[in-house]
Structure formats: structure tokens, C-alpha cells
């Protein structure tokens, strides 16, 4: 059985690593927070002492980290993956980061004969738990072929979209579409409530038509309950939109709608709602109109 290392056991990484254990893979894990490591060890994983130690024990190293600086530190740092990995190792970074950083990290790994794939995911914690994430992959075809079955233990789909960095470009495009969809849905539902129409009935009426979407079905039921427990935090969506804006400006693509949604999320962050689920964007529009979109 392939020896896999998993570094980063946060809200997404822990359930993803558990899926690999359940599939019977030989797993070594590491996180700066010891609690999820203990949980994974209890479930059958081995504990790595550092990112370097994990790499020394693994043929494939998966990272799931918050942002670009964390990936650079974990992979390229003094006690990082690069220091422990052997030539032929595949590093699969499933974090959502700046594609420019992805390409830079990959180039440094290549000098030691280590191949990198960027494979960010969409679906949030619920789909990480049930193993139905959408996985967008950038990198060489042969490396993707080697890890595809592993990825499909964590996701319902894994698609190679292009060369290294393409996975993160695709994820940024995904996050633009999700963010704008949530904002549009929020604005529309606030209009319905302010006009005296039952928001639950509006949802049921439109979900089967062209306005229906995965975002609508995932977020409206929670909004109606006032449940903003994070599946994907507003602060993480801010991070993704910041990366999207930076990447877009680098290649000469204006993103006017993305910029507006970014400012909505920034306003909510100032209000202390950064750790709310991104479905909590509705609270910005509720505040403007003086109503709440809740089940009656």
C-alpha cells in the first residue's frame, strides 16, 4: 500500500485524512496543533515529528494549509518537506493559494527530483467529511495518474485542468463564482423578506429553475435557521478573493464584481463576523434593509 504523508489537519484536512485512513492507506500525519494528530493516531495513523519527518516516511505527501506563506514554510522551510523527501516523491498541495507561489514552490522541488501537483478543493467541511469534494488539479499527467485513485477517496471528482498552477487558477475562478452567487442570493432573499414574501417559499419556488444552484441549496436552509456555523469561513473566502484579485491583476483582468463582494466580506470582518460561514454574507444585506431572512 502506498505510504502517504498528510500535513495540515484543520477543518478540511482532518476529515480528508480520515477518508484516507478509512480507505486503508498507510498514513503518517503532522500538524502544529497536537489535538487532531492524536485523533488521527487513535484512528490508525502514525504521528510525524515534523514536516521533514513525514516526508522521509512517505511516497506521496499531501498538504492542506491556510495560505501561501504556510505552504512555503511547510514545504521549503528548514524542517520542511523538501528537506526530507526523496527524488520521485510526489507533493500534492491541496491548499488554496496564489498560483504564482505554487509555481515557485514546484520549481524548487523539481531541482531535487520531486514532482508537485496543486489540487485545491471545493465543497467545504460537509463534503470533506463525506468524501465528495470537487478536486481541481494542475501538474504533469503521469503524476496525476499515480495519485488519482487517492484523490477520489477524498472527492467525488478529480480533474486535471492543466500544468502546475492551473488547479489554483481554477479554484480562484470557483471562489469568484461562489462568492458572487452567495451575494446575489442574499440580496434577492432580503428583497423578498422586505416585500413581505415568505423566504422559504421563495427558495422552493426558484430552486428548480435557472436561479437554482448548489449554493442556493447549501446556504438558504442554513440562513433560514440563522445558522452561520462555519463550513467555510468568511475570512478564508476573503483570502481566496485576495489571491484572485492579485492573480487577475497580474495577467490584466479587471474583476469589478469580485471587488464589490470582497468589500462586503471585509465589512463583515470589521463587524466581528470573520469566523462565520460565508453564507453569513446575507447579514450585510440584512443590515442595509433592516430585516432578517429567517424561517417564520
Residues serving a catalytic function are 171
Query: What 3-state DSSP class applies to 226?
Result: coil
| Separation CA 218–CA 215 (nearest Å) | 5
What residues contact residue 132 under an 8 Å CB cut-off, 6+ apart? 123, 155, 156
How many other CB atoms are there within 10 angstroms of residue 24's CB atom? 10
The secondary structure of 3-64 as a DSSP string is EEEEE--STTHHHHHHHHHHTT-EEEEE-SSHHHHHHHHHTTPEEPSSHHHHHHT-SEEEE-
**Cβ–Cβ under 8 Å, residues 71 and 63:** yes
Phi and psi torsions of 16, nearest 5°: -65, -45
Amino acid at each position: 500500500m502506498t505510504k502517504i504523508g498528510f500535513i495540515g489537519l484543520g477543518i478540511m484536512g482532518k476529515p480528508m485524512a480520515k477518508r484516507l485512513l478509512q480507505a486503508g492507506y498507510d498514513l503518517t500525519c503532522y500538524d502544529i496543533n497536537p489535538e487532531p494528530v492524536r485523533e488521527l493516531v487513535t484512528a490508525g495513523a502514525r504521528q510525524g515529528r515534523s514536516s521533514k519527518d513525514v516526508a522521509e516516511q512517505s511516497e506521496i505527501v499531501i498538504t492542506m494549509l491556510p495560505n501561501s506563506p504556510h505552504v512555503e514554510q511547510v514545504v521549503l522551510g528548514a524542517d520542511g518537506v523538501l528537506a526530507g523527501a526523496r527524488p520521485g516523491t510526489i507533493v500534492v498541495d491541496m491548499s488554496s493559494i496564489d498560483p504564482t507561489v505554487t509555481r515557485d514552490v514546484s520549481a524548487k522541488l523539481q531541482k531535487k527530483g520531486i514532482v508537485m501537483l496543486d489540487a485545491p478543493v471545493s465543497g467545504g467541511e460537509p463534503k470533506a467529511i463525506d468524501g465528495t469534494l470537487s478536486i481541481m488539479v494542475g501538474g504533469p499527467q503521469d503524476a496525476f495518474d499515480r495519485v488519482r485513485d487517492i484523490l477520489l477517496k477524498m472527492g467525488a471528482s478529480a480533474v486535471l485542468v492543466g500544468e502546475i498552477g492551473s488547479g489554483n487558477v481554477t479554484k480562484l475562478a470557483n471562489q469568484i463564482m461562489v462568492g458572487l452567487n452567495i451575494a446575489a442570493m442574499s440580496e434577492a432573499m432580503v428583497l423578498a423578506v422586505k416585500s413581505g414574501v415568505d423566504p422559504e417559499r421563495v427558495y422552493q419556488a426558484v430552486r428548480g429553475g435557472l436561479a437554482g444552484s448548489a449554493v442556493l441549496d447549501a446556504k438558504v436552509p442554513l440562513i433560514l435557521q440563522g445558522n452561520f456555523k462555519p463550513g467555510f469561513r468568511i475570512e478564508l473566502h476573503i483570502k481566496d478573493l485576495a489571491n484572485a484579485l492579485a492573480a487577475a491583476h497580474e495577467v490584466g483582468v479587471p474583476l469589478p464584481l469580485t471587488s464589490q463582494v470582497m468589500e462586503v466580506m471585509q465589512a463583515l470582518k470589521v463587524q466581528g463576523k470573520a469566523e462565520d460561514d460565508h453564507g453569513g454574507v446575507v447579514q450585510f444585506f440584512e443590515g442595509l434593509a433592516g430585516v432578517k431572512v429567517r424561517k417564520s
